């Protein structure tokens, strides 16, 4: 008996259709931080990367979930220490959405208890502000990297 491997059903991709669209196009990012100066600097820095599109910036964390539903970002970069609602509370609310974005916490508080709490709450990343320029783009690209077919699809 001969096996015809070419006529077998194709396996489903390891990521959702929305993620494939993201991979093939630009990564849509929503920024939320209590500091307008940091938002401006981060926006200007990320604008230099053609595969990253800033779809909004907010200084009020209580508006992040509603804005996420409206503009459907692929990723939310949010400050943990926001004046009205903690970025960690917003993280939990974002992850409860039907189609949640990836969420990376950006903070001045780079201590293990905060990292552990963010991980427990299902943050997709954690970046100290002092390392923002060095780590944000590699982190974003790693979150949306295309897994190779050899690694993820069985033949």
CATH of the domain at 80: 3.40.50.2300
154 within domain boundaries: no
The Cα–Cα gap between 107 and 80 comes to 6
* pLDDT confidence tier of residue 55, bands split at 50, 70 and 90: very high
Give how many domains the chain has, as a whole number.
1
The mean predicted confidence, pLDDT, of the chain is 84
Q: What is the pLDDT of residue 6?
A: 43
Check: CB of residue 88 under 8 Å from CB of residue 105.
Answer: yes
Domain span at residue 114 reads 26-145
Give the mean pLDDT of 63-83.
Answer: 96
Check: CB of residue 107 under 8 Å from CB of residue 116.
Answer: no
pLDDT over threshold 70, residue 13? no
Q: What is the pLDDT of residue 75?
A: 97
Which residues in 64-87 are b (16+ Cβ under 10 Å) and which e? bbebbeeeebbbbbbbbbbeeeeb
- pTM of the complete model beyond 0.85: no
**Helix, strand, coil percentages for the chain (3-state, nearest 5):** 45, 20, 35
The Cα–Cα gap between 57 and 43 comes to 8
45 within domain boundaries: yes
116 within domain boundaries: yes
11 within domain boundaries: no
105 within domain boundaries: yes
Check: CB of residue 90 under 8 Å from CB of residue 67.
Answer: no
51 within domain boundaries: yes
155 within domain boundaries: no
Give the mean pLDDT of 60-79.
Answer: 96
17 within domain boundaries: no
Q: What is the pLDDT of residue 151?
A: 47
Residues 118-151 pLDDT 10s:
999 999 999 999 999 999 999 999 998 855 444 4
């Amino acid at each position: 008996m001969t096996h015809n491997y070419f006529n077998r059903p194709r396996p489903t991709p390891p990521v959702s259709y929305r993620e494939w669209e993201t991979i093939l196009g630009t990564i849509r990012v929503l920024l939320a931080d209590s500091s307008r100066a940091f938002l401006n600097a981060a926006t200007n820095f990320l604008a230099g990367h053609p595969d990253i599109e800033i779809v909004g910036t907010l200084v009020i964390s209580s508006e992040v979930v509603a804005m996420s539903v409206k503009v459907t970002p692929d990723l939310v970069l949010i400050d943990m220490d926001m004046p009205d609602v903690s970025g960690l509370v917003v993280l939990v609310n974002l992850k409860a959405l039907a189609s949640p974005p990836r969420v990376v916490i950006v903070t001045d508080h780079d201590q293990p208890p905060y990292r552990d709490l963010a991980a427990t709450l299902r943050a997709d990343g954690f970046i100290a502000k002092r390392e923002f320029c060095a780590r944000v783009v590699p982190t974003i690209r790693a979150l949306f990297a295309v897994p190779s077919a050899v690694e993820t699809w069985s033949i």
